[in-house]
Structure 1
Amino acid sequence: MEAFERARLDAYFGRIAARFAPDERPASFLITHLLPERPAFVRGVAGVSDLRAVLPKPKSVHAEALRQVEADRHACDKLSREMFAEPERAVRYVEARAPGQPIVLLDVGGYFAPSLDALCDRLSGRLLGVVEDTENGHRRYANFRHLPCPVISVARSPLKDPEDFLVGQSVVFSTEALMRARGDILHGRTALVIGFGKLGSSIARLLHAKGVRVTVYDIDPVRRTQALSQGFAVARDHVSGLEDAGLVLCATGSLSLRGEDFQRLRNGAYVATVTSSEDELELDGLPDVYERASIGEHVTRYLTTGHYFYLLNGGNAVNFLHGASVGPFILLVQAEILAAAAALARGGLEPGMHEVSPSDRTAIAAMWLDYFNR
């Protein structure tokens, strides 16, 4: 990244932080993809809160970004699902970093959800709430019978629509790049897109534009009708869609393929996902049946008697291999996360699911246009 680009990012987040900074800054814990542009966002988080720890998503850590964040003297701790799956462990960790403090948790994918009740009840300070960035995480918090604190979700914000569309495009780009490295192309293939939300629909449209015959499956009947109205074939169920697909793209944010589904894949099919393998794919039992072999950079062949398929990037988000770049549009959502953190710090929200106000979104969009629509 050029020096002037870094300066513009810092100026943008400085202005966002100045606009939304609360009178009293809470302690915060930030889960994030640590990509090349992310240090400016981290500094923005530090502008609206007392940032106690950055927890980089383990499969999307850029070395130079990590170095910059550490150079800014922010603690970077190793993240895992297990870290917050056990309430005792979660409470000990947060208590060690921010004893007696009001706290805001900034989440990507519902990591804090399993320990949320314990964090609300047993910290020496007070958990003010959670900000959630993704649809997968949104569902995890929305599934609580009674949320013990406010959760502000930006997952369904209109400011996130450009990011979601462009992430879908980047998934197709990376999938095609890995296939071409093996001498395969997309054109003329059949594909199954599992999940027809904002990411899945973007993926399906671009695949169609590239000459791919696309079938869609989604558990939601409404989304299946939307796919039909846009000209896509719709499978009765994901199993029937698998049998004819030379490419399977999983875009649900939850479990798309179980262990028994892989044997239904067409020989030579490629499988790619938009999120981590632990969320989308049930891979644990496959080594007992299939032999694995790396047959190219980020391409693994699974082979058993009479059957084989290819898994891209180990089942993790394929677009992160090429930076997952969506340009400056992602900065809209990051600014909304800062506004949400500030809203939690100001208080007054009841336990439950919330969104950033339309007026705050309008202010963010106007500031973004000042910096990135020149």
Structure 2
Amino acid sequence: METFERAHLDNYFGRIAERFAPTEALCSVVVTHLLADRPSFVQAVGTLAEVRAVLPKPKSIHHAAMAEVSRGSVVDELSRERFADPDEAVEYIEERASGQRLVLLDVGGYFAPSLHAMCDRFSGQVVGVVEDTENGFRRYQALGKPPCPVFSVARSPLKQPEDYLVGQSVVFSTEALMRSRGDILHGREACVIGFGKLGSSIARMLHAKSVRVTVYDEDPVRMTQAMSQGFRIARSRSDALARAGVVMCATGNLALRHDDFNQLRNGAHVATVTSSEDELEIGGLANLYRRSPVGEHITRYATTGHYFYVLNNGNAVNFLHGASVGPFIFLVQAEILAAVANLAAQPEEPGYYEVPDAERRFIAQTWLNYFNRR
């Protein structure tokens, strides 16, 4: 970021933090995409809840941002395995925040498997969790009643601009990779698996590029929504894959399982909006398909009579090009700060919460004051 832009962003977060400054001391462990603009957000979190550790999502690390954050905070390696084991999870937060009031900032439900153990056995207090994504929020919902308050920004109206622009960036990156091999989207048929906020945005963007789009979602309500918007809907996943030259996976919950890959048409390109562990069951293909790189971030899977391409090893393609959604991401980050302040201000009963509408309106107006300057 340019120096002026960074200063402007820091001032914006300073205004947000001033509005939501907690009266009770708090510390935090922060899971984040460590992109170029993220040091300002981490710094802002620290003004509300001392940052005891930053856990960057491994497929989205900007090296300059990593270096900057590392100068002021402990940066640890993030993996699902670390927080899948309750003993290891409790040991980790003891090491980083023993005896403290702790808030967990999450992107993808990493803390969910061990949340009960952390709340029961931690020497301090897990005040609550703030979750950024729909996929992650579903992981917490699967717990039933959680052992502490869980704030979600995943379904906030302030996140809608981000979701729309992420869909655009996924299509941009998919086409950029295809063009690197002399191919284009135009004239192909595409299949979008998952018609949630990101999937619907991807489908509309593909349609705008004159791509014929078929949608498949396991939820019949979403299928009716897709149909009402003019998209062809598939009767089954097999039907959706049969003619698609491009397959865009946007479910967050294994869009393609092991047995689905043999139904891809020859030459199909497969792209996802999240990590491979959440969208593609590709680990079992090693004994059936030969893997070979055919371009930067493009892998060809081939066996006798059948081949297809997986982009970015099945991880979110848009992070190859910065995953930028412009200043709209700062709306969501401000709401995360508001959620932290809500957790610090008053002890909530265990359950699921959202930031109040009045606070969202303050965030939106502040954002407009800073980023709608003519």
| TM-score scaled by length of structure 2 | 0.99
> What is the one-letter code of the residue matched to 1:64?
A
Q: What does 1:1-374 correspond to in 2, within 5 Å?
A: 1-71=1-71, 73-374=72-373
- Measure, in 2, the Cα distance between the counterparts of 1:9 and 1:172: 27
Bigger shift: residues 156-165 or 17-26: 17-26
Describe the SS at the equivalent of 1:249.
Answer: strand
Deviation by residue 1:57-85 (Cα, 9 ceiling, x = unmatched) = 011000000011112x1110000000100
> What is the one-letter code of the residue matched to 1:230?
Q
- Measure, in 2, the Cα distance between the counterparts of 1:7 and 1:24: 28
Report how far residue 220 of structure 1 moved: 1.0
> What is the one-letter code of the residue matched to 2:77?
K
Deviation by residue 1:130-187 (Cα, 9 ceiling, x = unmatched) = 0000000111111212211100000000000000000000000000000001011101
> What is the one-letter code of the residue matched to 2:62?
H
- Measure, in 2, the Cα distance between the counterparts of 1:364 and 1:211: 37
| Conservation of the 8 A alpha-carbon contact between 1:101 and 1:125 | yes
- Measure, in 1, the Cα distance between the counterparts of 2:161 and 2:47: 25
| Conservation of the 8 A alpha-carbon contact between 1:196 and 1:218 | yes
Q: Gaps spanning 5+ residues in structure 1: where?
A: none
Describe the SS at the equivalent of 2:201.
Answer: helix
Structure 1 runs, 4 residues or longer, greater than 2 Å off: none
> What is the one-letter code of the residue matched to 1:3?
T
| Conservation of the 8 A alpha-carbon contact between 1:192 and 1:249 | yes
Deviation by residue 1:307-330 (Cα, 9 ceiling, x = unmatched) = 000000000000000000000000
- Measure, in 2, the Cα distance between the counterparts of 1:135 and 1:204: 18
Deviation by residue 1:1-54 (Cα, 9 ceiling, x = unmatched) = 110001011111111111101012311000000000110000010011011000
Report how far residue 348 of structure 1 moved: 3.1
Residue identity over aligned pairs, in percent, reads 68
Q: Gaps spanning 5+ residues in structure 2: where?
A: none
> What is the one-letter code of the residue matched to 1:331?
F
| Conservation of the 8 A alpha-carbon contact between 2:271 and 2:316 | yes
Describe the SS at the equivalent of 1:324.
Answer: coil
Report how far residue 125 of structure 1 moved: 0.5
- Measure, in 2, the Cα distance between the counterparts of 1:245 and 1:191: 5
Bigger shift: residues 138-147 or 333-342: 138-147
- Measure, in 2, the Cα distance between the counterparts of 1:109 and 1:255: 14
| Conservation of the 8 A alpha-carbon contact between 1:128 and 1:347 | no
Describe the SS at the equivalent of 2:302.
Answer: strand
Report how far residue 194 of structure 1 moved: 0.4
- Measure, in 2, the Cα distance between the counterparts of 1:207 and 1:223: 18
Bigger shift: residues 344-353 or 33-42: 344-353
- Measure, in 1, the Cα distance between the counterparts of 2:203 and 2:178: 17
- Measure, in 2, the Cα distance between the counterparts of 1:25 and 1:307: 59
Query: How many residues are aligned here?
Result: 373
Report how far residue 190 of structure 1 moved: 0.4
- Measure, in 2, the Cα distance between the counterparts of 1:130 and 1:238: 35
CA RMSD across the alignment: 0.6
- Measure, in 2, the Cα distance between the counterparts of 1:283 and 1:344: 39
| Conservation of the 8 A alpha-carbon contact between 2:127 and 2:347 | no
Describe the SS at the equivalent of 1:288.
Answer: coil
> What is the one-letter code of the residue matched to 1:62?
H
| Conservation of the 8 A alpha-carbon contact between 1:274 and 1:319 | yes
| Conservation of the 8 A alpha-carbon contact between 1:273 and 1:317 | yes
- Measure, in 1, the Cα distance between the counterparts of 2:221 and 2:175: 29
> What is the one-letter code of the residue matched to 1:277?
S
Bigger shift: residues 344-353 or 224-233: 344-353
Report how far residue 347 of structure 1 moved: 2.2
> What is the one-letter code of the residue matched to 1:99?
S
Describe the SS at the equivalent of 2:286.
Answer: helix
| TM-score scaled by length of structure 1 | 0.99
> What is the one-letter code of the residue matched to 2:299?
T
- Measure, in 2, the Cα distance between the counterparts of 1:237 and 1:104: 42
| Conservation of the 8 A alpha-carbon contact between 1:132 and 1:153 | yes
